[in-house]
Structure 1
Amino acid sequence: MTYRNHNSGLNMRIPHIYRALPLLFIFLFSFASVFAQTQLHRVSNTARSDGMGYVVRYHLTAPVDSFDILQPAPDLIQMVLYDEEIDTTGLELPEESEKLKEVRLYKLKYGYGIDIYLGNGAYYKSNAYLDQNGSDILVNLEVADQREVERYSQQFLARNWYEEIVDESALEVAPPDTAPKNDFYYDVKDKLRFDKIVIDPGHGGWDPGSIGYKGVKEKEITLAVAKKLGAYINEHLPDVEVVYTRTDDSYLGLAELGHFANLAEADLYVSIHCNSYRNQYVRGAEVYFLGLHKSDASFEVMKRENSVFKNETDKELTEEDLLVYELAHSGYIATSEKIAYMIEDQFKNRAQRKSRGVKQAGFQVLFEASMPAVLVELGFITNPAEQRFLTSDYGQSIMASAMFRAIRDYKVEYDQKQAYNTTSSSSNQK
């Protein structure tokens, strides 16, 4: 009787358990869904069926929190995907085509910033919307008139993703040395610091520099980029003083520029320029340090940049001048070469700009400076696409932040080396 009652009671309880299991599974599924990471596993593009443009699709496993789109230039479309949990592991990006040149992603604290670069002569107006049958985001690129696209893009201000992904921890320089210092070090310690940079916006005043596509003047771009570079240094390296050779549309002769830097007792001299060429398809950034030109192309750039100096003094640097300089300033040249390669690496691998490499040439402006010095050619303003990039606030910020990161990284390395040398010297004095 008791046994039957026990079984009877058990039989009555089992159905309740079974009825509870689906609710448990639903709860666990819902809990997992809430905390599941949204995955962006592919970005694809296809031509519209009506032949009037293209559609770019973001393939997502779940909807993002929100998104935004802007088109700050005819050949640049930017998007923001707001979702901190987006996973892009194994992401497949579309191959470069004549119309769609490249898609780049930037990890931000609140999601992802995305740049879509269009080809030269490809004019589209863009808008974005959710796929009605899923979580994908679609970007519609509709063929439009060039003037219409140019007017449309003027309403947007480009986003500089690099300002948002700067690693603040990397900005920290070596901690001050607390070891006892000998008298000699105490007397010269200020000279050992990397604490002053001269930034030279190339040309200015009556000298416009190169004249680019649609009459763009080199001197205007170089001044804008120089000021942005200086602003980055002031913000993130407050112990480094920035000195400009000009802050307005004025002219300082090439012969005076190096002397100006010497009087400032700077630790680095950065001269900023833009390139030009008769072939409008030539593009890419170059970084120079002083030395004997190793190629005809370097020699041509040197002649153009030195032309103003020659007009002023009727003097031209000879190979003998450069050999003497190399012998007298070998340490500066080695450091200049190192910094030049660090800048070139930032242009190529971080800013994703086409690089034409690091080169040597006999620039008069570098010859006069008795310190590490580099000359940066940001790109070719005779190339329509590169000119649009370099005249945009976005493009100028990209190039300035790339140079800043190279300078910052060099300073960190320099300060750590000085701290090590000082500690070793103090130990040897004991």
Structure 2
Amino acid sequence: MHCKVINPILKYAHKTANYRFFRALLVTVLFLTFSLPFSLQAQENTLQKLTTAERSDGKGQVIRFHLAQAVDSFQVYQPDPDLIQLTLYQENIDTADINLPNISSAFDEISFYDIPAGIGVDIYITEGKFYDGKAYHDGNSNDLLLGLTETEKSELEYLTKDTEPIIWSSFTITEQNLLEGNGNTPSENSDYNQTRDKMKFDVVVIDAGHGGHDPGSIGYRNVQEKNIVLEIAKKVGGYINEYMPEVEVVYTRDSDEFIELEERGSIANDAEGDLFISIHCNSHTTRQPNGTELYFLGLERSESALEVMKRENKVVRANNDIEQRELSQEELLVYELANSSYITASEQIAGMMEYQFDERAQRHSRGVKQGRFVVLYHASMPAVLVETGFISNPSEARYLTSDRGQSYIASAIFRAIRNYKESNGN
């Protein structure tokens, strides 16, 4: 507020009996006018952009975090040669509109996560580069600097040996949380209840997708779907054996072997399974997509579901020939007419798993969907296909290849199975 506006007000106020009142009011207005923007700014600290530059000594690079305010504290953690993780502690750090460099020779990918009282940061170092990371405040600004010092590969491997990466969701959950409690229950449905009443529920069939010469999807830095899903399948089975000893676990494969799609269903039927769960990893041509998806047998209703269905129905032969299995709408219709209660129960179970992934394991859920999956079609029982995450996404690839990430996913699947059995009353 300029003096040419203030002075006439003071002159008018001075002529009145309420001069002291007007003067106090004006002081209050001025205080609010000038102090309020600063107080609002203090409540939100914006991370505006990231820039990278070569170090002046030529021995590495510096990543600059451009901050509206200096963070209260920070910590650097390097669990692997190709991953540096940071925690920045400051309330209300906003990363929504951060400007990232299009190309950087320092890192391939960077991801941000909300954690209590701050944010977590994953920096995936460019393949073939080896840096030791140290962070410090910039003395001339509010910025935080991450210094990357070129280091011998062997030395970095020694420094990061036997360390696990931070799983950001573990800031609010523990594995024990995942294994305890009842979660949600399905809504009542006559078809579902009809199937439930007929089932004794004493056999669960766990199908680890792909295997052998069929690697499944190839993810970030060449991680293979077949290896990840086998480990998760074994963990699910382990939880069932420990916490539900009355239930038999049958694996369609428990080693790195190739099993035909139709044969997987036959294994489940021969075991007289009560529930069939096929475990997979998703992928995309870009690195951004993330999250879990649940599928039960039905006609796909979106382009993304169609793409997943095509990929999971694809069979890779030993000679690298690719065969695309087809399931017609007529075949699906016949199955639906004969097994409507199975499909209804499958949808209910998928909903339970989505709840566990989203609410309990705190994984982003992309929903429950339908698809004409050959592996589900041949299992004559309630059947669900689980896409545990996108291994094309660097963060999810890291999560799904870690023991802790696999345990969280397996725990969520186990909880849904247990809740389903409990809802059957047997």
1:196/1:267 contact within 8 Å kept: yes
In 2, Cα distance between equivalents of 1:347 and 1:125 = 34
1:399 alignment counterpart: 409
Q: 1:70 and 1:52, CA in 2 relative to 1: closer, same or farther beyond 3 A? A: closer
- Cα 1:315/1:303, change in 2 over 3 Å: closer
Alignment-mate amino acid for residue 235 of structure 1: E
Letter in 2 for 1:351: A
How many percent of aligned residue pairs carry the same amino acid? Answer: 45
The partner residue of 1:166 within 174, 177, 181 is 177
CA deviation map 1:230-277 (0-9, x unaligned): 112222222222111111011211111111111111111110111222
Shift of 1:202: 0.2
Equivalent pair of 1:275/1:379 in contact (CA under 8 Å)? yes
Supply the RMSD in Å over aligned alpha carbons.
4.5
Which ranges of structure 1 fall in alignment gaps of 5 or more residues? 1-41, 61-67, 80-90, 106-113, 129-138, 173-188, 420-430
Q: Aligned pair 1:346/2:353, yes or no?
A: no
Matched residue, 1:83 = none
Aligned residue pairs total 332
> 2:92, 2:71 → 1: CA distance?
10
Q: SS in structure 1 opposite 2:181?
A: helix
Q: Counterpart of 1:428?
A: none
Q: Output aligned runs, 1:40-119, within 5 Å.
A: 71-72=78-79, 101-104=112-115, 116-118=120-122
Matched residue type, 1:102: Y
1:252 lines up with 2:259 in the alignment: yes
Match of 1:321 among 331, 342, 360: 331
What is the CA-CA distance between 1:399 and the residue it aligns to? 1.4
- The yes-or-no answer on 1:331 pairing with 2:337 is no
Structure 1 match to 2:290 = 283
Residue 342 of structure 2 corresponds to residue 303 of structure 1:
no
Change (3 A) 1:191 1:92: same
Does the CA-based 8 Å contact 1:196-1:241 persist in structure 2? yes
Is the 1:278–1:382 Cα contact (8 Å) retained in structure 2? yes
Q: Please say if 1:220 is aligned against 2:242.
A: no
Instruction: Give the counterpart letter for 2:380 in structure 1.
Output: S
Residue aligning to 1:111: none
Task: Label 1:200 to 1:164 Cα distance change in 2 as closer, same or farther (>3 A).
Answer: closer
Aligned to 1:181: none
Q: Is 1:272 aligned with 2:279?
A: yes
Q: Does structure 1 retain, via aligned residues, the 8 Å contact 2:178–2:360?
A: no
State the SS of the aligned residue for 1:378.
Answer: strand
User: How far did 1:212 drift?
Assistant: 2.0
- Counterparts in 2 of 1:209 and 1:292: CA distance versus 1, 3 Å: same
Equivalent in 371, 374, 379 of residue 369 of structure 1? 379
| 1:232 alignment counterpart | 239
Query: Distance between the aligned counterparts of 1:404 and 1:349, measured in 2?
Result: 14
Does the 8 Å CA contact 2:345/2:382 hold for their aligned counterparts? yes
Q: TM-score, normalised by structure 2?
A: 0.63
> For each residue in 1:255-311, what CA deviation from the matched residue of structure 2 results, as whole angstroms up to 9, or x when unmatched?
111111111111111101112222232222211110011122212211221122998
TM-score (norm 1): 0.63
Report the 3-state secondary structure (helix = DSSP H, G, I; strand = E; otherwise coil) of the residue aligned with 1:246.
coil
Q: Is the 8 A contact 2:62 2:148 kept in 1?
A: yes
For 2:213 and 2:418, the matched residues in 1 are separated by 33
Alignment-derived partner of residue 368 in structure 2 = 358
Structure 1 residues 72 and 344, CA gap change in structure 2 (3 angstroms): farther
The secondary structure found in structure 1 opposite 2:315 is helix
Amino acid at match of 1:244: Y
The structure with more helix, counted as a fraction of residues: 1
Letter aligned with residue 116 of structure 1:
G
Note closer, same or farther for the CA distance 1:209–1:168 as it changes in structure 2 (3 Å cut): closer
Distance 2:150 2:213 in 1: 37
Contact 1:226–1:272 (8 Å) recurs in 2: yes
CA gap 1:359/1:164 in 2 versus in 1, 3 angstroms: closer
Contact 2:314/2:325 (CA < 8 Å) preserved in 1? no
| Alpha-carbon separation, structure 2, partners of 1:141 and 1:240 | 51
Is the CA contact 1:289–1:360 (under 8 Å) kept in the aligned structure 2?
yes
> Could you list the runs of 5+ residues in structure 2 that have no partner in the other structure?
1-43, 56-60, 101-109, 136-143, 184-195
Matching residue of 1:385:
395
1:142-172 Cα deviation digits (max 9, x unpaired): 5456987974544313578555433766379
Question: Cα distance 1:306–1:143, how it changes in 2: closer, same or farther (>3 A)?
Answer: same
